Amino acid sequence: MAFLSGLSAFPITPSDRDGHVDTAALKRLVARLCTAGVDSIGLLGSTGTYMYLSRKERLRALNAAIEETGGNVPVVAGVGALRTDEAVRLAQDAKASGAAAGLLAAVSYAPLTEDEVFEHFSAVARESGLPIVIYDNPGTTHFRFTAALVERLSRVPGIVAIKNPTEKSEQIASHLAQQRSTTPRDFSIGYSGDSNAAQAMICGADTWYSVLAGILPDVCLRIVRAAQNGDVENARGNDARLAPIWEIFKQFSSIRTVYTMADLLGVCQAEPPRPILPLPFSAKEKLAYSLNLLGQDLT
């Protein structure tokens, strides 16, 4: 899965208050990513509000995005669901639409055991035939993948990669080394958590799964390419310029922030699905000021 490397950009999924996807706006977002040259597009991730959309609307979004790429940029589609049979159907939809892989989280209402998560992931990979990326997102699922579980899953046919969270930058190198030592050589190891992702790429991670890249791909690509080329100073310098954005992410959440960014940059006007509310006005002003301050660094 060579495409599971570099920068994977995760755009929002613009929709109305009834959960009907605005495919024209989504195509504009995807077109920006294709023009920038991202390595893959992460559609219907958490930023893409997959859990707030029906199966029908997810499929509409996926078809629109893949049509816009023209098959030139791989799409990793969120296929998470509470029920295993539903996740299987979503993964089958994604494969039929031309998605390159599925992103699967351990979403649940009742807390899940490791054996339950193992069986869930194994069933989706087996029954859909779609390559599966493990989505470890304990902040929303309240389930954390242990090293032992990742090792087990990495050896299941069809499970090809992991999207790890980044919480403490000083722990990334040891975490990555541990995961590399217990998973197959061709198993792709990537990280999300934008404010620490530059460090992950500098440490040798395969992929940055990026929220910010879904709306500002160029500056994120500069960080990734610098890290891939061993230019640590350049990677850190570009990341440092984004510090005001990382602070807003931490204070107000990345999802609310990128919806507002899309509006401020004139890409599309959309609000996150309720009950999530848009950024308060004071935060929007702070974000507009930060974007203006960054100026040419964003292009």
For residue 3, the model assigns a pLDDT of 73
pLDDT recorded at residue 167: 79
Pairing of strands 132-135, 101-105: parallel
Q: How many residues are recorded in the chain?
A: 299
For residue 18, the enclosing domain spans 6-229
Domain-embedded: residue 105: yes
pLDDT of residue 293: 84
Provide the domain count of the chain: 1
CA distance 104 to 163: 10
Cβ(162)–Cβ(133) below 8 Å: yes
Q: Is 163 annotated as catalytic?
A: yes
Is 47 annotated in a binding site? The answer is: yes
Residue % of the chain over a pLDDT of 70: 98
Asked, for residue 66, whether it belongs to a domain, the answer is yes
- Catalytic site residue from 95, 163, 191, 259: 163
Question: Which listed residue (135, 191, 209, 259) is catalytic?
Answer: 135
Q: What is the CATH number of the domain that holds 196?
A: 3.20.20.70
List, for residues 83-134, the tens digit of each pLDDT value.
999 999 999 999 999 999 999 999 999 999 999 999 999 999 999 999 999 9
For the cut 60, the answer to whether the pLDDT of residue 299 exceeds it is: no
Question: Is residue 118 assigned to a domain?
Answer: yes
Cα–Cα distance between 100 and 284 in angstroms, integer? 35
The reply to whether 259 belongs to the active site is no
Q: pLDDT over 90 for what percent of the chain? A: 95
